[in-house]
Structures are given as C-alpha cells and as structure tokens.
Structure 1
Amino acid sequence: MVHFVLVHGLCHGAWCWYKVKPLLESAGHRVTAVNLAASGINMAKIHEIHTMSDYTQPLIELMESLPPGEKVTLMGHSLGGYNLALVMDMFPQMISVAVFLTAFLPDCTHSPSYVMDELMERNPAGFWLDSHLSSDLDPVKPKTITIFGSKCLTTKIYQLCSAQDLALAKMMLRPGSSFQEDLKKRKEFSKEGYGSVNRVYIVCKKDLLITEDFQRWMIGNYSVKEVMEIEDADHMAMMSSPDELCRCLLDIANKYN
C-alpha cells in the first residue's frame, strides 16, 4: 500500500481531488488530500497568511505527524509544486517520490521565484483575462491576492472539464496568493534536501495556463527522473483526465515504492 499525499494549486482546495481520491483508494492505496492554509475548508483567511511557509503549514504538520519510517508519494498541482519543494527540503527521507502535475518546478541554483518570475514575464497582464490581482498592502510582507475570473476559468483552466466541474470550482474557489514576493527573498532550495528526492513530471499537453512549452522549459531547467504525458488534459487534469492521471500515479507508485 502506498500513501499518496495530494496538494492542490492556487485558489483551490482538497475538494479538487474528488475524482482521483476514490480511484486510488479502490486500487488499495491510502490517500490524503491536504487543504493548505486559507484554502478549501481550512479556516484561516488569506490576509492572515504572509509567506509560502505559512501557506504550507498544514502539509508540514501532516509530514510531522507521520509514524517513523513511513514514506509518502507526494503530488503537487500547479502552484503546489512549491509546497512540494518546501517539504522535500525539510523531510527528504520521508518521501519516496514527488510528482509535479503541470506544476511549478523550482531548481537549486536560482531564487525559488525564478520559474514563476519567468512565467509572469512571458505572459502579460491580459493573459489572466478577467482574473483580479491586487496587493494586500501589508507594509511588512506584501503579497499579491489572486481571484480567478469566470472567463479565465472557462477558457484557460477548465476548458476540457465538464460543466459540473466548472460549476463546482466557481462555488468552491477562494482568494489565494502565489507568495511571489516571499519566494524572491527565500534562499535557494537545497541539493541535499529538495534535490535529493526522486522527481517525476506529468505534462498536461492541453494546458493553456501553464502551457506544454513552459512545462518542458522547466524540465529542461531542472531535470527529473521521468516525464509522463497526458494527451487530453487541460490544467485541471484531476478533473478532465482522472483515469489517465491515476494510471500514471499507479505506475509511479510501482516504480518508486
């Protein structure tokens, strides 16, 4: 039995894994879907969360609660790649493999914000369509608050998902932050921690938010053990291609556990 720990992306919550969790469990595995701080049913408010570490705290607490000797298979989606990197740096010996699902893949050479900075540089403000990005005006630790707009969700994030999944997202999404300002100030992730853990990248070929080209640029910037592909997955592969995603995960579990 493998213990899968699933980490959502920006503005989302554990709810987004509702198709994948029962599929993995029916294959005999244990699955924990985490609500990061101020996400999903976590009671914190985004204005109370100041750093990527604060945001990652529920995942850190989960890792700290694991019994001695237990190893997990981590999967992070989108912004969740940063949450993975942070706990990989802290608990490398507790992770069999980390799976990056069309996720940010930082390296050990540049500032942690490097790949996010590059994405923002390549995509002008209009790229986000009707999404709302604003500063929280915190005088000590300012951050950008993001609220995805309906048009952005429909045409760039959930474009291959069902109408039901899109409706669920519109009801469940909460304001979030990528904590880019905080990531710019953090020291690089370490080769001894983050860099020592097996990394697998799952490319979603129909992703219009973190495009296939950008996913492959990140892989070229920081190599991984293995690259897998899902042909017809948009950004929300766990909803648009749950069966294919689960096949990838079960294959990964067999190889690395």
Structure 2
Amino acid sequence: MLKCFRPPVFLENIATKKIVLVHGEGFGAWCWYKTISLLEESGLHPVALDLTGSGIDNTDTNSITTLVDYARPLINYLQSLPDDEKVEYSDRMCCGGAVVSYALENYPKKISKAVYLTATMASNGQKPFDAFSEQLASADLFLQQSQFLLYGNGRDKPPTGINLDKQQIKMLYFNQSPSKDIALATVSMRPIPLAPIMEKLSVSAENYGTVRQYYVQTLDDNMLSADVQEKLVQENPPDGVFKIKGSDHCPFFSKPQSLNKILLEIAQMPWQKIY
C-alpha cells in the first residue's frame, strides 16, 4: 500500500510556511535547487527569486544603478502579498544581505524572520562592501586596482560591475562544494552589479529592528572569512547564531543537509520580538 507523505507535526503547525530564498551576488534562483527540494519534503513552501540582472532575468547588469533596481523583483513580490501574510527570508552574501536588509526596513510587517546566510549585516550608514574591506582593500583602492571590474558605460566612467574568472570563483566560493555544483555555477553565474555593493544602507530600530534576525556562519569560507563573519555578528547582534562546519561560502551546495536542518529549526521559532 502506498503511503501518503505527511510532513512532521511540528512543521504542520507553524505560522509561516513560506520561505523566500534570496540569492547573493552573481547567482540566481537556480543556486537553491537542493534547498528547495529539502524544504518541500518537510512541508514548507520555498520561493526562490531571480533579482534584477540575475538568473534568467535578462536585464543588463551594467544598467543596475541602485539597490532598489537590483531588489525590484523582491519588492514586487512583497507588494503582491496579502496584508495578513508574512514570509520568512533566507539570504546569502553581500548583495543578498543588502537586499534583505532593505526589505526589512521597508516591509517589516511582511516578514516574520530573516536569516543571513554568510551574508553582510550592515549597520545604518554602512556599505555592504565594507564587510570585505579588511580582506580586499578600501573601496577606493579596490576600484582603482581591481582587474575584474567592468566598465559598461566606458572606461572614462565609473565601473558598473565585477566579473570574476572561473579560477577565482572556484577558490573564493566553492572550496568545499561538489564538482557538479561548481560546473553548474561556472556556466550560470552572471556579472555582479557594483552599485548595490557600494550604496550606503539606511536601517532603523523602528522598522528593520522589529524583525527577528538570525545569522548562519560558514567556517571554511574563503570569500567571507570566519573572523569577518564573527565581527559582523558582534557589531550587529542577531537573535541567534548558527555555525556550519566544513562549509564554504555556499552551504546550499557544500552542506545542504546542515543548512536545511538550521532553516527548519528557525522556522519553528516564534516570530514575535521579545523586548
């Protein structure tokens, strides 16, 4: 006799089953394919979006001039939700973290919780790029010297994007990921829009600060070192911190089961802030 799949009881009774997955710079909704499958098996409803100029969105990366431009698909999705519906967010990396921070500030009543997955949690007035400044250089020096910059508007204009080569991508993002996922990423990743990384964030305790936030650290990360991640947590204390051992910058590839376990645990937690 065939048995019907039945999600665990603890996931049947949670208030928010919809989890929106926001990719980081250069990636797209495709990067969440393992996480989507695992969450669906647990009875949740994951939604993965392509941000502007990412995945199958055909916008030219060089035309993205603001964080709002980049976040537009997420903004449109939030605005389409019924007034009484909340969603949970999981995001990753520099641009993804900035996009979700923007959403928390501008749509706090639409979001029950936010999970920063080895992503930047910038304070008010900070740029997402600031988190990388210790590992790379100052923003000004990086813009002057980087060989990976794109000049979509001409060399006499400010750079518009970043395009890493395959060896850089493997070294920075995928030092623990399976070879098949590395192959998928190297043929699917798009140039990184520069403007969202360099834009100062505006967040407040009255909006951004009212949503529960969690941080997931990846401890074998070449892109955002464990020390930098720890500093981000210390400077912007979240409601909870989780750590994934043996994971590179992309735990949805290198440690999908560990990531799924954390997301399920967070899904069970109450969404109301305790003051």
Same fold (TM over 0.5): yes
Question: Does residue 220 of structure 1 match 2:228?
Answer: no
The corresponding residue for 1:11 is 26
Matches of 1:181 and 1:135 in 2, distance apart? 16
Report what 2:99 is aligned to. Answer: 83
- Residue 203 (structure 2) aligns with: 189
Q: What is the CA-CA distance between 1:75 and the residue it aligns to?
A: 0.8
Q: Which runs of 5+ in 1 are unaligned?
A: none
Aligned partner letter, 1:219: V
Q: Alpha carbons of 1:161 and 1:40: their partners in 2 closer, same or farther (altered >3 Å)?
A: same
Alpha carbons 1:107, 1:189 under 8 Å: kept: yes
Aligned to 1:207: 221
Q: Distance in 1 between the 2:198 and 2:150 partners?
A: 16
Superposed, 1:94-243 pairs within 5 Å as: 94-108=110-124, 111-113=125-127, 116-124=129-137, 132-137=148-153, 142-179=158-195, 183-184=199-200, 188-243=202-257
- Tell me how far apart the structure 2 counterparts of residues 96 and 76 of structure 1 sit (CA, whole Å): 14
Secondary structure of the residue aligned to 2:82 is: coil
1:128-172 deviations in Å (ceiling 9; x for gaps): xx9712344479x94541112111122221111111111101110
Q: Is the 8 A contact 1:100 1:200 kept in 2?
A: yes
Shift, 1:36, TM fit: 0.1
Whether the 8 Å CA contact 2:65–2:196 is kept in 1: the answer is: no
- Bigger Rg over Cα: 2
Corresponding residue SS for 1:19: helix
Letter in 2 for 1:176: I
Tell me the number of residue pairs that the alignment of Structure 1 and Structure 2 aligns. 248
Deviations 1:75-130 (A, max 9, x none): 1100201000001111101111100000010123xx230x522422432489xxx9
TM-score (ref. length: structure 1): 0.90
Distance change in 2, residues 1:74/1:28 (3 Å): same
Q: 1:23 to 1:177 in 2, by over 3 A?
A: same
Range with bigger deviation, 130-139 or 56-65: 130-139
Gaps of 5+ in 2: 1-15
Q: Secondary structure at the match of 1:9?
A: coil
Cα deviation per residue 1:198-255 (whole Å; 9 max; x = unaligned)? Answer: 1100000011101111011011111100000111110011110001000000000001
Asked if 2 retains the 8 angstrom alpha-carbon contact of 1:143 and 1:177, the reply is no
Structure 2 residue identity aligned to 1:151: Q
CA distance in 2, matches of 1:10, 1:55: 10
1:245 paired residue number: 259
For normalisation by structure 2, the TM-score amounts to: 0.84
Q: How does 1:14-93 map to 2 (within 5 A)?
A: 14-79=29-94, 80-93=96-109
Task: Describe the SS at the equivalent of 2:51.
Answer: coil
What's the offset of the Cα at 1:65? 0.8
Contact 1:78 1:104 in 2 (8 A): yes
User: Cα gap change, 1:132/1:83 in structure 2, threshold over 3 Å: closer, same or farther?
Assistant: same
Task: Check the 8 A contact 2:214/2:238 in 1, yes or no.
Answer: yes
Given that residues 131 and 228 in structure 2 are in contact (C-alpha distance below 8 angstroms), is that contact kept between their aligned partners in structure 1? no
Aligned residue for 2:231, secondary structure, equals: helix
